[in-house]
Structure 1
Amino acid sequence: MSDNQELHALFGGTFDPIHFGHLKPVEALAAMTGLSKITLLPNNVPPHRPQPEATPAQRVAMVRLAIAGNPLFDLDLREMERETPSWTFETLTALRQTRGEKQPLAFIIGQDSLLSLHKWHRWQDLLSLTHLLVLKRPGYNNQLETPELQQWLSKHLTADPRQLHASPAGKIYLASTPLLAISATEIRTRRHHNQPCDGLLPAAVLAFINDAGLYRNP
């Protein structure tokens, strides 16, 4: 074992806004793998998608409201302090320096991100820094793009959560978490069309969105 250090996970995202499609699958993942802490990493400048509608301060406020009183979650704002794209490799390198070499660390991604991982900055070095925990996504393929990528995946796969605790990095775990077809895009679209979003995100987050007048047409 890694000096009996607990497995901690990191979960990055734009969180524009944070919703139950983010929260419920990772809570199920924590129960499934024995995770003791999930650190949310809001992106300031996401490299692979359009820029957020809400301001960085509003997105952080929504995350704080969503995780208030839940000891599973904490918040890391290092990516918010960057004016350049949030490259996962660089964030993980910095986190590894603060957490130490022996801390078992896992980075949570969606199945959609796994399928495009080979396009990420320094993707082949990620597993030297972290495990990958992959959440199922509705409607996505289970096969990677090429036989070589599929072979890379097979080499690192584990179905045993104990292996995630036993080493600091290097494994990929495909999680059969609940499939919640909720997206931030859907929530923003519903808001733009004055449609209700109850049940899609925490009540405190929805109250904040209403108070701030977010995701309304200009």
Structure 2
Amino acid sequence: MLTALLGGTFDPIHYGHLRPAISLANEVDLKQIRLLPNHIPPHKPQPEANTEQRLAMLALAIEDLPLFALDVSEILPETSIRPSYTVETLQAWRCKNGNQKPLAFIMGQDSLLGLPTWYKWQTLLDYCHLLICRRASYSTQTDSTKLQQWIDTHQTNDVKDLHNSPNGYIYLAHTALEDISATEIRQNINNAQNCKNLLPPKVWQYIHIQGLYGTKK
């Protein structure tokens, strides 16, 4: 069975994470997506919500969605003092689960285009497939010849490749565009704007109970 990981800060988790992931699961026949919150993201500002709060929001968001499970391997005490590098997480997954099980890592189109800034990015496909969800306002092509050649070399349009091989393919999914960002949500909440249509209701309620992102100004 093809396992998929979806990493992020989830500060907070919102429908821009969940809806494309559900669509992707239907498209490529995923039975489970493991949400992988990182403790110290290498390419983003540090989360405003603390680890306990982000985990609580994730648990609330997925408690009625059996497709999703929570994976805390990047925020264990052993890894909490340094950035969470995806390639190291994938290596650890392989050490635990072996080299023959199909594994995929889900990322947005924006992350794909920014891969050259990732730690050991060219080795990612040694451990997994990449499943790419479309992002609004992002091009399907990159200005980096090196990255584009890498994508072209490994791209597949055949879902069977993802299930029949443990790693090595890039699949550009046809997920709907969701123009939602956690940054915008935090800013809007801080400015007393209603964002309840962008988040699961239980997450929206938790944000207010905890006074996150300026809700108790």
Bin the TM-score by the shorter chain. Answer: over 0.9
Aligned partner (choices 141, 163, 171) of residue 161 of structure 2: 163
Shift of 1:98: 1.4
Distance 1:193 1:146 in 2: 38
2:213 is matched with which residue?
215
1:1-218 equivalence runs, <5 A:
6-81=1-76, 82-216=80-214
The AA in structure 2 aligned to 1:94 is: A
Question: Which segments of 5 or more consecutive residues in structure 1 lack a partner in the other structure?
Answer: 1-5
Shift of 1:141: 1.5
Shift of 1:99: 1.9
Shift of 1:31: 0.2
Shift of 1:145: 2.4
Distance 2:126 2:13 in 1: 29
The AA in structure 2 aligned to 1:59 is: R
SS of match in other structure, 2:212: coil
Distance 2:47 2:144 in 1: 32
Question: Which segments of 5 or more consecutive residues in structure 2 lack a partner in the other structure?
Answer: none
Distance 2:107 2:97 in 1: 20
The AA in structure 2 aligned to 1:78 is: S
TM-score for the superposition, normalised by structure 2:
0.96
Distance 1:76 1:90 in 2: 15
Shift of 1:58: 0.1
Per-residue CA distance 1:50-69 (angstroms, 9 max, x = gap): 01110000000000000102
SS of match in other structure, 1:154: helix
Distance 2:91 2:6 in 1: 15
Shift of 1:198: 1.5
Shift of 1:147: 2.4
